[in-house]
Amino acid sequence: MLSMPTEPCPPLLPEYVVFEGPGMDAFAQSPEWGSSLIIVPFMYYEAYGDDSLIRGNYVAMRRYMDYLATRAKKHILSFGLGDWYDYGDF
C-alpha cells in the first residue's frame, strides 16, 4: 500500500532508507521504478491469461496513476531516471 502523502512509489519496498538531499527525489519518485506496479501485472496477464494480479492491485495501480497525473504537464512526466530506461521493449 502506498502510504506517503504524495503517493510516490519508492524504488525498493519496504523502504528502509529514505534518500534525502538535492536531486534524490529522482530515485524516490522515479516513474521508471513505480510503473512496475502497473507493467508487471499486465505482463503477467499477457503471458498467462490470469488477471488476478490486475484485479488484486487495481486500487494501488489507480492511485499511482492518479499521483502521476498530478506531476505531469500535458500528460508528460519530466522527472525521474528516464535516461536509464528504454521503453521500446514494451
pLDDT, one tens digit for every residue, the chain (90 residues):
444 555 566 666 666 566 676 666 656 677 877 888 899 999 999 999 999 999 999 999 999 899 889 988 998 887 776 655 555 655
Q: Report d(CA 48, CA 74) in Å as an integer.
A: 34
Domain ranges of the chain: 33-83
Q: What is the pLDDT of residue 30?
A: 75
Whole-prediction pTM = 0.65
Contact 86, 31 (CB under 8 A): no
